[in-house]
Chains A and B, each alone.
Chain A
Amino acid sequence: MKKLYSSQRTRWLYIISIIFLCLMTIGLWRSSQLLEKPKIDEEQKPIAITLSSGAIEPIPLVRKLDERKVDLGRNLFNEPKLSKDNTISCASCHHLDAGGADPKRFSLGINDAVGVVNTPTVFNSEFNFKMHWSGVVTTLEEQIDKPVYSERVMASSWPEIVSKLQKLPEYTSVFAKIYPDGLNSDNIKNAIATYERSLYTPNARFDRFLRGEQNALTEEEKEGYRRFKAYGCVSCHQGINIGANLFQNFGLFGNYFEDRGNITKADLGRFNVTGNEEDRYKFRVSSLRNIEKTPPYFHDGTAETLEEAVMLMGKYQLGRQLSDQDIELIVKFLKTLTGEYQGKPL
């Protein structure tokens, strides 16, 4: 009997020892696995150096956006309740039937307050590297704050706007459907910015030319493009938006502002943002897309025609008076940059 008990005891000890060994093996294996240094993704793509085919790229034909946000943003873009006295909406200054800009030299805000700079176009604004003439903000969402708070435009505030819109069930219900956190200032900005992203104008004749459709431009327009490049215009007006991707001094040759007179704070441009002396009279280079449809030109809206604008650019950026032929040909080229919105020419 005692022998039997002692043999059972030995068996138990064997079993327990085996379990210990298994556990130790598993533990050590797992521990060594965890202690291994995480692998860095070594299969990084090699940095390829490719030559671009040209200074200007065509706008994509289709962009995928959340249509619900676009619709909501459209309503908000046209909503006068964004302003203090419910009179001014984004569309009050950005006329889509006038190239997304204001035909007036300076737009009028609430109580007919006159703006200090010419309203830039809202079309293709997503491709701008910075917003406003001075590039004070980078994104479309940030940009909305400026007119909302400006005493000369809407003179409002987000708490006030949110309070007004919350009284309108057509907004609260739509916001609740689209955004998990419902109606708030961030979501209003996001909806408006999404709508503005939908305001792109592809399929300009020049874009078709860039895509290989050689007959999209006439010989004169092609000559205009050649002179546009030869006279150095393309140095600033390049990229997908044909400009709007760098700051440049207005008046490399001669002093435009002294010649014009009546210098205002707005004329100081980028200097108002950075305070650097080098940035005095520096502005974001304008996009030339749909330029034919957005007179008057420049930040001060002094050039009423495209010809006048080209002439002034030649004078102050190139140092000479361009010939009428040069101006005519370059303007002809510029007119090929007018694109389509929702399949229809602007």
Chain B
Amino acid sequence: MKQYRWFNILTIVSAAIFLIFLVVKSLSIDLEKHQNYQTALAHQNERKAIINQELLKSRYELFFSYDPLVNHLSELKETQAKLTEIPKFIEGKNREDFQQILAKSSQLIENTEQLLEDFKSQNSAFKNSLRYLPSLVSEIANKNYSQINNQNLSASLDELVQNILLYNLTSSEDLTSSVKRTIKKLQQIKQENINIDREELFLIDLANRHAEIILSYKPRIDRLTQEILALLNTQQSEELNKAYYSYYQKAINKTSIYRHFAYAWSLILLGWISYLAISRTLQLLQKSQRAELALQKMNEDLEAKVKERTAQLSDLWAQECLSEKKQRRAKEKLQQRVRELGTEIASVSQGDLTIRATVTQDEIGTIAEFYNFTLENLRQIIVQVQIVVQKVVNNIKSNEIAIQKLSEDTNEQKEGIAVARENIKIIAKSIQMIAVKAARTEALVSPMIRTGEKGAILIDRTVEEMLSIQNTTDKTNEQIKLLKMCSQKTSQLTDVIDQITFQTNGVAVHSVNEEPRIREDAQNLSLLFDKSLRHTSKQANEEVEKLIAEIQAGIEEVILTINESIAETKNKTQLVQETRQNLNQIASMSTQIEQLVNEIALSASEQSQASETVSQILEKVTTIASQTAISATDVSTSFAKLLTATQQLQERVSQFKVN
């Protein structure tokens, strides 16, 4: 079945693919592309015709510019470039053939362009001469160079212009000989007239040369014109058009075949689908008919079964009526047995567990058996309960006294703890007082320590000052010693002065010996030295010696005094230092005392906190003790209640008869 379904699907897919293939092939011609190509072909034909037209216009002076030729040729080339994009429906060999035709067309356009360039160049040179010749002839005629009668020359020049213009207008070469004859005539005139002006001669020659240019260029231009016209003729264009349309027609025919096939295939597919639809419908109809018949048959079977079942039910009803009587009898018998059993076990309700029901063979007998078994078990339990209750009662009675004592002890403990708590509170208060007092002591000791410290600092400063005084005194002592040395040096200096004085005198005497001329002066000088300087220096020496002796005596006294003061200062300094050491000891001791007081205050506060904690704990203990006392009381009460309940239970259990 599954394979059959797969086969069906495969067939449908294949058929659809084939149809798509046929449709795609039938639509292979891109009509837009075809239209564009067709337009390009038409445009190319048009350009060719216009170029021909422009060519003729330029040849016969109907226009004066080559721009249209250039522009149309450019468009023609653009169109040709477009035509190289051949539509896809031209395939295979047809495409290759068409490409060859297009290449031929491109070559033709290239040739045309080349010819057109030649045409333009030559036509321009031709027109140049053609335009200039009449002007030149007119110039020669107007200037009238030669004095001689030159009618013959004028006539020849006019003839030349006429012939040239006529020659230009016709496509025939018949007038060539006339023009050549006129040129020859002009040359003869030139040779015959020896006295002719040189410039005139040059102009005649120039006219002849222009005429010759016209003669030589015109046939070439006409030939070029014909060639171009032949190249761009419609016949050649038609070849391209025909080729394209023939290939297009072939492509159309080919696509038509595909189209017909596609159409036929779609018809087959439609027929097939229709066949399938109809056959499916008929199958469905047949199936529904079969189903209807089957349903009818089933209805009939069901009817027969209902009838049969009704009959069975009526039979069953009759049997039921008979069994009802039997049941009633059995019920009555059962009720009787139940009543008997009730009677047998009535005394159980009064606590007699020794009674047993009679066991019979019926259902009630089974119940009685279970009942007996239960009673036996109950009896055993009651016996055990009675034993246990008795034991409990005995225990309670024995523990009752101990519990009461426990309760009393607990109360006593409670009261004791309360007393202890009060005492601890008193201790705590006293510790707090100690802490307060320690704090006060600390407050008193602290300033004392600070005073001691300040005293130590002051003594330090005093010691420092004394040391500085000592230093100063030492320095003074040294300076005085230096002064003493100076005075000694001064006395030495005085001795030196004395010697100088003595030597000066010697010099003066010596100079007297050396120079007789200044002898008198030297003697005078010697005398002067003898009198004044020696005298003066002696006096000065004496005074200085005295002064030095006095100074030295004063200095020695000062040194003695200073040395004494230094000795005293040293002694005092030692005393002060000792005092300072004592003060430092006091300060350190005070600090120790302060530390001790602090420690006492700290420990007092700690003790206070600890006593508070102890007090709090004791409070909690008191609370617990009171709760314990209450609990002990409760326990005692509970024991009493338990005893009562156990006694009640014992009474109740004793009601059961177990023996």
Contact = CB atoms under 8 A, between A and B. Distances in A.
Interface of A: 1, 5, 8-9, 12-13, 16, 19-20, 23-24, 27, 31, 34-35, 37-38, 40-41, 44, 47, 49, 51-52, 54-57, 129, 138, 229-236, 238-240, 245-249, 252-253, 278, 282, 285, 317-320
B18 interface: no
Given A41-B42, A253-B209, A49 B121 contact: no
B274 interface: yes
Given A52-B65, A246-B66, A253-B209, A235 B127 contact: yes
A233 to B, nearest CB: 8
Contacts of A23: 266-267, 270
Contacts of A285: 124
B53 A252 contact: no
Contact of B128 (A31, A44, A235, A320): A235
A36 to B, nearest CB: 9
Given A52-B65, A245-B70, A236 B124 contact: yes
Interface string B32-74: 0011001100100010011001000100001111110010001
Contact of B53 (A20, A47, A56): A47
A54 B132 CA distance: 18
A47 B206 CA distance: 41
Contacts of B35: 38
Nearest to B207: A319
A47 B49 contact: yes
Contact of A252 (B120, B213, B267, B282): B213
B596 interface: no
B611 interface: no
A72 to B, nearest CB: 25
Interface residues of B, number: 58
A129 B132 contact: no
A5 B63 CA distance: 89
B132 A318 contact: yes
5 contacts: A20-B270, A232-B131, A235-B123, A246-B120, A248-B124
Contact of B65 (A40, A238, A253): A238
B83 to A, nearest CB: 16
Contact of B263 (A27, A44, A129, A233): A27
Closest 7 CB pairs of A and B: A55-B64, A232-B128, A246-B120, A239-B67, A235-B127, A239-B65, A235-B128
A8 B278 CA distance: 11
Interface of B: 31, 34-35, 38-39, 42, 46, 49-50, 53, 57, 62-67, 70, 74, 117-118, 120-121, 123-125, 127-132, 135, 202-203, 206, 209-210, 213, 248-249, 252, 255-256, 259-260, 263, 266-267, 270-271, 274, 277-278, 281-282, 285, 289
Nearest to A237: B124
Contacts of A138: 74
Given A40-B38, A252-B213, A247 B65 contact: no
A41 B41 CA distance: 11
A333 B188 CA distance: 40
A318 B263 CA distance: 77
B270 A238 contact: no
Contacts of A5: 285, 289
B258 to A, nearest CB: 11
B65 A129 contact: no
A248 B121 contact: yes
Contacts of B62: 49, 51
Contacts of A31: 256, 259-260, 263
A245 B67 contact: yes
A35 B66 contact: no
B265 to A, nearest CB: 12
A240 B249 CA distance: 45
Contacts of B132: 230-232, 318
Nearest to B205: A319
B121 A20 contact: no
B64 A40 contact: no
Contact of B206 (A16, A37, A319): A319
